[in-house]
Amino acid sequence: MPWKTSAIYYGGDYNPEQWDRETLAQDIPLMKQAGVNMVTLNVFAWGELEADEGVWDEDGFSRLGERIDSLVDAGIAVDLATGTASPPAWMAKKYPDSLPVTKAGVRLGFGSRQGYCLSSPAYREGVVRLSREVGRRFGHHEGVALFHINNEYGCHINECFCDRCGQEFRSWLQRKYGSLQALNDAWGTAFWSQRRRSWEQIDPPAQMPTFPNPAQLADWRRFNNDQLLGLYRLEKAQLNEIAPQVPVTTNFMGYFPPLDYRQWAREVDVVSNDEYPDPADPAAAAELAWSADMQRGYKGKSWLTMEQAPGAVQWRAANATKRPGQWALWSLAQIARGADGALCFQWRQSVAGAETWHGAMVPHVGTENPHWKEMVALGKQLANLSPVAGTPVKADVAILVDWQSEIIRSTAIGPVPHSWLGQARAWHRSLFEAGITADVVGSDADLSGYRMTIVADMAAPDKELAKKLEKFVAGGGQLIATTGTGRFTPAGKATQGGYLGELTSLFGVNVEGTLYGSNAAEADVVTEGEDEHLGGSTPPGSPAGGPDPRVCRITAAIGAPASKRYVGLETVDPALERALDSLCEVRPALRGRTRADAIRVDDAEAIAFFTDGIASDLNGQAAICKRKVGKGQAWYVGTDLDFAGRAAVLALVGAHARIRPTLPDAPAGVEAVKRGKVLFVLNHADKAAELAGIVGTDLLSATQLSGHVLLPPRSAIAVWQ
C-alpha cells in the first residue's frame, strides 16, 4: 500500500509494557501537550504476547489493544511493530540452536536482544505466527497507520556461523553459480591451494590463519543481506495478506554496511530511518545531511525519521547530551532534506533495563524543566509545517554510490584500508560546506535531472553505468570521477589494461598504477580535518610530514615519499587558480592525500600536475584532467583531494554546471536547504547569524519576515517563499 501523509509526524517509540496504569494514565494528556501525533508500539513486546510456543498471553494482547484504542481516541496515529525483533526466553530454552553463533564458534546466550540465528526454523516459524496474530488482531484497526516490521535488522547480529547457516550458504552459492567450476573461477581458488572439489568443502568464512578469500567473504556478506531480507519479506507477506491496506516499513540505520538498503528500499512502502549523530562531533550536522540525502535517494521520496535521541544516548564510550536547541534544530535539518517526521526513541525514559540511561521525551525528572519545554516547543513548530509534508527536495548534484562496489572494496586485501563510502562522503561534505544540496543515489539512478554527477572511488562500475555517464556528459552534464574508480570488474576481479576500466575512453586517460602513502589508514573523512582547514595544509617537515630535517640528519635525508601525509599538485589552469584564489586570502596549496594515480593522458587536457609528497616520483605528470564530450565535460581527479582541493574543483566544475549555493554568502555555521516552496535556514553555530534579504512567512513561528533576520544560536526558520 503506498504511503501518503499530509502532516509531519512527531512522537516516538512508546513501550507501555514498562509502566503501571497510574503512569500510563499520564501519558496521553502529556502527548497531547507536546503535540505528539504518532507513536510506535510493540517493538520489543514478543515476550509479553506469547507465553509459550503458540500460547498467546491474552492479558498482554488486551493491554496492547487498550493502548491502541486510547491513542486513537486521542487522535494519535499508531505505527504498529510486529514485535519480532527479540524472541522470548522460552524459544532460547526450547530451541537452543535458535541462538546465533559467532565467528569463533561461540553460541551466544539469552538475555540481551536480537538473539536469533538468521536461518533458525524456530525463529522463522515464530515470526510468521506472531506477525499474523498481530496483523489479525489489529491490522484493521482504524488507528493503525503503518506496520513496523522487526527493528534495525542486523544491528547486532548480521551473520551467524552455525552449521545450518553454513548449509544455507552452500545452497545460496549453488543457486548463484550453478557449478563448482564457476565458483572456483569466481573465487580464484587456484591461488593458495583453495580449490573446492565438492560443495561440502565450502564453509562460512570463520576465523582463519590470515586473510580469507576476498570473493568468499564478499559472497558471505551478500548471502547474509539476503538472509535478513528474506526474514523481512516473510513478515511482510503475512501482513500484506491479512491487512493489505496498511503500508509497511522497517527502520534503517543511516548507512549500514552489512545491508544493501537500496535493495531493501524497493520493498518498503516508506523509508524510515534511525539517526543518532554524536553531539560531541562538530561534523555531526554534516553527517546528518549525508544520511538524510541518502534516505531521500533510496526511493527518490520523502521518508520518516523513526528514531533519534531526545537527549543523550547510553551506548557510546562518552554520551554527550544534545545542547539547548539542538533537538529541534536536528529534527528540522532532517525535515528540510525530506523527512516527514521527527520521531524518537523513546517517549518515556526507562527506570530499568539496558536503555535506562538513554534520553527520552519524558525524562526521569518529569516535565517541570527546560527539556520538556523543548519537546513541547518543537511539537508546536511541527504542527505548522504540514505544507511541506510529502514535498520534494530539488538537487542539481548527484553523488552515485554502489553497495556491490563497497562490498568488493571492503573485502579486498589492500591496497588501502577501506573506509565505507569514504570518498563519496568527503565530496558530499564539501558540497554541504559550500551550501549545495546533493542527492545521494544508486548507480542505477536516472541522471537526466542533474547538472553535476560525482563518482568517487566507485570500485566496480559496470558497462551500463559507463554508457549512462557518457550520455549524461554528452547531453551537457559535468562529471567528476576520482581515484579508486574502476579498479575491479563487477564480478570482483582486478581490472585489466588500465584501472579506469569501462570509463577509460570517457575520461580520455589510462590509469596505469597508483602510488600509496603510509597514512592511508587516516584517509577517512571523519578523521580528516584537524590539519586540513582551508589554507592550512600540513607543511612538509613538520612532525606529521616526516622527520624534521634540522635535527634528523640521517633519516631526513632518506627519500621516502610514501611517508608523507599529502600528495603535492600544481595547476597550470587559470580557471582552477582563480577557484583556489577565491577560497581565502592566501591561496591554499593544491593537495591530495593517501594516493596518486600514474595517468597516461590519451585524449584529455591536464589542468594540474603532481609535484611532491607521496607523488614525488610522479613529479610533472598529470594529476587532474578534463575532457570535453558533446555539450559537457568529464573531469578525472587522480588523488584524494583535501578539503581545499575539493572546494576548488567544485567551485570550478560547479561554475561550468551553473550551480549556485541555496543561500549565497550564508554566514558561518548556517545551512540552507530548499524543500518545495520552503527555504529552511538552520544556524548550527554558537553565535547568532545575521541574514539579509529573507522575505516570506516563517512557518515555525508564524511570523512575517521582511529582509533582515537575526537567527539565534542553534535555531532555524522555515520560510514559505
Q: Which is nearer to Zn ion, 147 or 153 (CB)?
A: 153
Q: Which is nearer to Zn ion, 8 or 117 (CB)?
A: 117
- Which string of DSSP letters, residue by residue, matches 644-695? HHHHHHHHHHHHHTT---SSTTPPTTEEEEEETTEEEEEE-SSS-EEEEEEE
Q: Which is nearer to Zn ion, 121 or 630 (CB)?
A: 121
For 469, the grid coordinates are: 555517464
CB of 122 to Zn ion, least distance (A): 11
Q: Annotated binding residue at 162? A: yes
Q: Annotated binding residue at 635? A: no
Q: Annotated binding residue at 344? A: no
CB of 107 to Zn ion, least distance (A): 9
Residue 99 interacting with Zn ion (CB under 5 A): no
* Region from 117-125, 333-341, 511-519, 582-590 binding Zn ion, contact rule CB under 5 A: 117-125
Question: What angle (nearest 5°) sits at the alpha carbon of residue 40, between those of residues 279 and 684?
Answer: 20
- Is 307 considered catalytic here? yes
Residue 117 interacting with Zn ion (CB under 5 A): yes
* Region from 119-127, 221-229, 468-476, 651-659 binding Zn ion, contact rule CB under 5 A: 119-127
CB of 160 to Zn ion, least distance (A): 3
CB of 166 to Zn ion, least distance (A): 8
Strand partners, 592: 567, 641
Q: Annotated binding residue at 384? A: no
Question: What angle (nearest 5°) sits at the alpha carbon of residue 197, between those of residues 191 and 203?
Answer: 80
Helix axes 284-299, 422-434, angle to 10 degrees: 110
Q: Return the beta strands (E) in 350-434 as ranges.
A: 397-401
Give the strand pairing for 38-41 and 9-14: parallel
Task: Show the DSSP H helices in 475-607 as ranges.
Answer: 504-507, 574-581
Considering 152, 374, 470, 671, which one is annotated as catalytic?
152
**Which residues, including other chains, have CB under 8 Å from residue 349's CB and lie 6 or more apart?**
356, 358, 359, 360, 362, 363, 364
Q: Which is nearer to Zn ion, 223 or 298 (CB)?
A: 223
CB of 105 to Zn ion, least distance (A): 12
Alpha carbon separation from 460 to 69, 137, 188, 494, 626 (Å, rounded): 52, 47, 17, 9, 22
Is the sign of the CA dihedral 575, 577, 578, 582 positive or negative? positive
> Residue 452 phi/psi, 5° resolution?
-135, 140
Q: How many CA atoms lie within 13 A of 394 on its CB side?
A: 11
Q: Annotated binding residue at 646? A: no
CB of 89 to Zn ion, least distance (A): 19
Q: Annotated binding residue at 165? A: yes
Q: Which is nearer to Zn ion, 107 or 176 (CB)?
A: 107
**CA-wise closest residue to 713 among 689, 693, 694, 678:** 689
For 127, the grid coordinates are: 515470526
Strand partners, 696: 705
* Region from 116-124, 351-359, 464-472, 655-663 binding Zn ion, contact rule CB under 5 A: 116-124
Residue 705 interacting with Zn ion (CB under 5 A): no
CB of 205 to Zn ion, least distance (A): 14
Site residues for Zn ion, 159-188, by CB under 5 A, read 160, 162, 165
# chain residues binding Zn ion, by CB under 5 A: 5
Q: Which is nearer to Zn ion, 117 or 469 (CB)?
A: 117
Site string for Zn ion, 124-163 (x = CB under 5 A): ------------------------------------x-x-
Q: Annotated binding residue at 197? A: no
- Is 235 considered catalytic here? no
Considering 287, 307, 470, 502, which one is annotated as catalytic?
307
Q: Which is nearer to Zn ion, 122 or 440 (CB)?
A: 122
Task: Show the DSSP H helices in 120-192 as ranges.
Answer: 121-138, 163-177, 180-187
Query: Which residues contribute to the annotated binding site for substrate?
Result: 113, 151, 315
Residue ranges of the annotated binding site are 113, 117, 151, 160, 162, 165, 315
Q: What residues make contact with Zn ion under the rule CB under 5 A?
A: 117, 119, 160, 162, 165
Q: Which positions make up the binding site for Zn(2+)?
A: 117, 160, 162, 165
Any idea which residues carry the catalytic annotation? Answer: 152, 307
